[in-house]
Structure 1
Amino acid sequence: MTKKDKDLIETHKIRYRLRSTFFYNKLNEYHTYEFPQIITELIPVSNNYDWTGYDKWGVSEEAFQAIKESKLSPIKVFSHPRLLREHPILTGYYRNVSVLSQKAVSYLVNIHPLRFENDNEIDMGEGNALVLSRLFNEHVSLIIENVLGNISEEDINGLLFASTGAQIDGSWRNAIGEESERIVRKMLIKKAIEMSVLTAFNKKSGEVEQLGEAISDHIERIKEYKGFTLNNKKSVLFSSEPDISLIDTDGSTIAAIEIKGGADPAGALERYGAAKKSFENSLNDNEDVETVLVASCLTPEVESRLGKDNEIKTYFNLTSLLVHKEEKERFLNYIFKKLLDL
């Protein structure tokens, strides 16, 4: 196998491993698993919603009758303007059931749905609720009209997940670096919890959150955290340039960690240069800082430069951390035992 073939295999390994975790995280972030439960809880009160004007909301007569015959509640399929105003977060549900991307909604009706999908307290207003309901209902009506036989709850959930998956796939191309950072940060949190050295989380909101029993809940909410504190009075901070900082008891920086998870070998030198720039800033503040690079797709040229680079003191192959347990343990031991002295 040639070096080029090995580089290509490594590229695919890092891309698909990160893609898997990215998809899972996004399904949670987009509330995809929550939606069916929210709708189920609303169905007992669905009679409180008047569907007399369904045709004004973009629902075709054929589609409406088909749903009545299927025994499905209308709110399982169709967007009611009042319901949308009461529960703006369901914008994401009805958008995906109608198989429309956020970009498509923005293009078709000049309303970007993201602000409603992320904030359940916002009032979208009468006009927006009506326009969005019409759009979603027109599209889902067309789907129902083309179904051979009755449409089922499984069909609706299938549309929800298929459409969400397409949206996630579209955003994946620009998110590999972000997902790489998330993976490494989760590694550090899990290890600190396993070692019983994590005392609290520092939230981006400025609040301090104590470690609870639901470990998985903390890990899934990693985007809320700015870092965490340790029982030896040191801390780990998440930021950008560097991506992770290890902080000593007096506030000085022990180590700066840069994570470069790009999957394109052609961009390896560019990622190396970006890491160096970040490390230069850290070293200007404190020349004793340990600089740690965690990167994928380390080409022969980049590895050659790393071997001669006095500013990057240690580097790890991100792909190896994800694939080989012993390499992951070597990295974590280096961070917690050598650098944090735990």
Structure 2
Amino acid sequence: MRLKIIGTGRYLPEKTATNDDMAKLVETSDEWISTRTGIKQRHLVSSPEENTTYMATEAAKRALKNSGLKPEDIDVILVATVSSDYITPSTACMVQRELGAFNAVSFDINAACAGFLYGLNTVDAYFRSGIYKTAIIIGVETLSKIVDWSDRSTCVLFGDGAGAVVAKADETGMLACLQGSDGTHADVLECKARSNNNPYVSTSKDFDYVFMNGQEVFKFAVRKVPECLNQLLEKANLTVNDVDYFLLHQANYRILTSIAKKLNLPMDKFPSNVDQCGNTSAASIPILMDELNQQGVLKEGDLLFLSGFGAGLTWGAALLKW
């Protein structure tokens, strides 16, 4: 048995901030942002109640409705995030409480922008081993709370939101998957946590903001995604022409076009919503997947290539039948 997606859902905050809004905060312009990233706007939380847990729960509710399953049917709730509301408990446990899915084991993973793929791969392993049969996998981020809003190199890139899928163990679905990491380049994209503060070590700084070496991340993504694709195609005994759609982490439209060019493929095989959502890290792929599902773009039997890449450095990829 393997992972098959049977339902999708997403939640995006109603409040949007355009590039012109960003220009009121930092020295930038719509032209500067859009030509370098493809981003036109991003969704941002606008109230204390609209937090990571709330967005994850709303996306999960919509995915459950789309799947036809009930909360009590779920065996696993896995949340991928770097921006949880609490150090502990996990966001997944909070979502479990809000859903009433009390039969589910619940936990978070932190693999940055590759987190959703790590979640898919983890649940697929559970299904193949026969331990569990149903799951909710959520990617959710409130990146606006860890961004330095005076740093134009990062604040214009990121947005908030959540995407979720419901999966069940089936004879079809996940064909092949992989994940990897390279901690030697951990400083390329980072956000430091609270420093130690005890009777022997003291600091006045509670936390830091996101730092990113954009050029290094760009080069990493354009190199790694085709590598992952080739590995999975060989593993599944398929060719690139068998893939109907490439659902990649929505970090930067120039990354997507560079990957498509490297693979010699048309951009209509690379759906994108980065112009409307910005970079939502672990949430970007499930948000895009639900958008395509609700629009009726994805058809039964379509072959999808999914790939996420981000801080760690981490990467994950999957080939699955819709």
Does the pair score TM above 0.5? no
Answer 1 or 2: higher relative contact order, Cα 8 Å, separation at least 6: 2
Larger radius of gyration: 1
Higher strand share: 2
